[in-house]
Structure 1
Amino acid sequence: MITILVVDDDKEIANLISLYLENDGYRVLRCGNGREALKLMEEQEVNLMVLDIMMPEVDGLEVCRRVREHSTLPILMLSAKAEDMDKVLGLMTGADDYMIKPFNPMEMSARIKSLLRRSFRYNTEGKATTRPDILQIHSLEINKITHTVTVNDSPLSLTSREFDILHLLANHPGRVFRADEIFQRVWKEDCYVANNTVMVHICNLREKLEKKLGYKLIQTVWGVGYRVEE
């Protein structure tokens, strides 16, 4: 059975979410703060997390950061604030989707089903359940050990930097990476020239991928960064 962890200090909202999810056939766990959620994650297997931002002790953004250090489980983040920066912060922290309170429970249910489908497809096709050295998104295969990329078994020639950027983005589908974050992770240097350097490499990488795939794999989130969508 699929297990969903609901983390919200508002008991009425947590109960409402849990009721709808249980009616959809999910097993639901509940926590009232971030510290309790992190502890529970160590003790039980969770398939998806519904996570409120504003909570006592450890807030939702910090929980998301810590979870992303060791897990790619889908995270749907909730907030009572509607400002765009809240959404940007949530997605940059590693959340997969975002909803503003008050929300339609039926819309939440639909979004959760979509996140679970994507997660299941990734886990059955990608590195999580098959070979840990290979990532696969549809016809694209990225081999970390041999440092090679193929599309429909046809090799794609990439530079070392292009490969590292692609592997970083593909290893976290849906997550938005800022240009300076990509620079730090790939070049492992200070990021004072990150924006132009990363932009050039992303443009070259995107052009090579589109010629082989026939569609745009790497998406630009304007004013934020880049992500790979399955």
Structure 2
Amino acid sequence: MVLEDEEDIRALITTVLTSAGYEVFETANGLDAVELVARHNPVLTTLDANVPGIDGFEAARRIREVSDTYVIMISAFVEDADAERGRLAGADEYLGKPFRPRELRARLEMVPDRRRRTDEG
């Protein structure tokens, strides 16, 4: 699931995820992101911090109430305090913008499928 309000960045993230074998749902609105995660329970969710509806930090908090999806925040807010705020909201990782597609691809290789672990055990 991709939450990103900038269309070109959303398209880039979607392309990277699709090429890695993910089925992608996307939105530009934080409220819609929470709904999509609740409906589809994705393995991975990327969240931009500064989006309409509710911001990515609040979206992460609400997503954590309904899902254990792996959350990567991808944001132009790049201070250490922003990354800590993201982790406190429920993000597993924080990637600053601008980012290179290969940085995102490298992080995808580390994403655990928590649903598989839950289903098996």
What's the TM-score, normalizing by structure 2? 0.90
Q: Letter of the aligned partner of 2:48 in structure 1?
A: D
Helix, strand or coil: the match of 1:129? helix
Helix, strand or coil: the match of 2:45? strand
Q: Letter of the aligned partner of 2:119 in structure 1?
A: T
CA distance in 2, matches of 1:68, 1:42: 10
Q: Letter of the aligned partner of 1:50 in structure 2?
A: T
Residue 60 of structure 2: aligned partner: 64
Q: Letter of the aligned partner of 1:94 in structure 2?
A: G
Question: Conserved in 1, the CA contact under 8 Å of 2:41 and 2:69?
Answer: no
Question: Conserved in 2, the CA contact under 8 Å of 1:6 and 1:50?
Answer: yes
Greater strand fraction, Structure 1 or Structure 2: 1
Indicate whether 1:129 and 2:119 are aligned: yes
Question: Conserved in 2, the CA contact under 8 Å of 1:78 and 1:99?
Answer: yes
Q: Letter of the aligned partner of 2:54 in structure 1?
A: V
Moved segments of 4+, more than 6 Å:
none
User: Which of 11, 19, 23 is residue 15 of structure 1 equivalent to?
Assistant: 11
Residue 108 of structure 2: aligned partner: 112
CA RMSD of aligned residues (A): 1.6
Q: Letter of the aligned partner of 2:57 in structure 1?
A: L
CA distance in 1, matches of 2:15, 2:66: 29
- 1:1-230 residue pairs with structure 2 within 5 A? 5-116=1-112, 119-120=113-114, 123-124=116-117, 128-130=118-120
Residue 208 of structure 1: aligned partner: none
Equivalences, count: 121
Q: Letter of the aligned partner of 1:129 in structure 2?
A: D
CA distance in 2, matches of 1:99, 1:123: 25
CA distance in 1, matches of 2:120, 2:13: 33
CA distance in 1, matches of 2:43, 2:85: 23
Taking a change above 3 Å as real, the CA distance of residues 26 and 114 of structure 1, as seen in their structure-2 partners, is: same
What's the TM-score, normalizing by structure 1? 0.49
1:66-88 Cα distance to aligned partner (Å, 9 max, x none): 11113211000011022111001
Q: Letter of the aligned partner of 2:85 in structure 1?
A: L
Deviation at 1:38, TM superposition (A): 1.5
Q: Letter of the aligned partner of 1:39 in structure 2?
A: E
Q: Unaligned 5+ residue runs, structure 1?
A: 132-230
Helix, strand or coil: the match of 1:16? helix
1:179-216 Cα distance to aligned partner (Å, 9 max, x none): xxxxxxxxxxxxxxxxxxxxxxxxxxxxxxxxxxxxxx
Deviation at 1:123, TM superposition (A): 4.2
Greater helix fraction, Structure 1 or Structure 2: 2
Q: Which structure is higher in RCO with an 8 Å CA cutoff and minimum separation 6?
A: 2
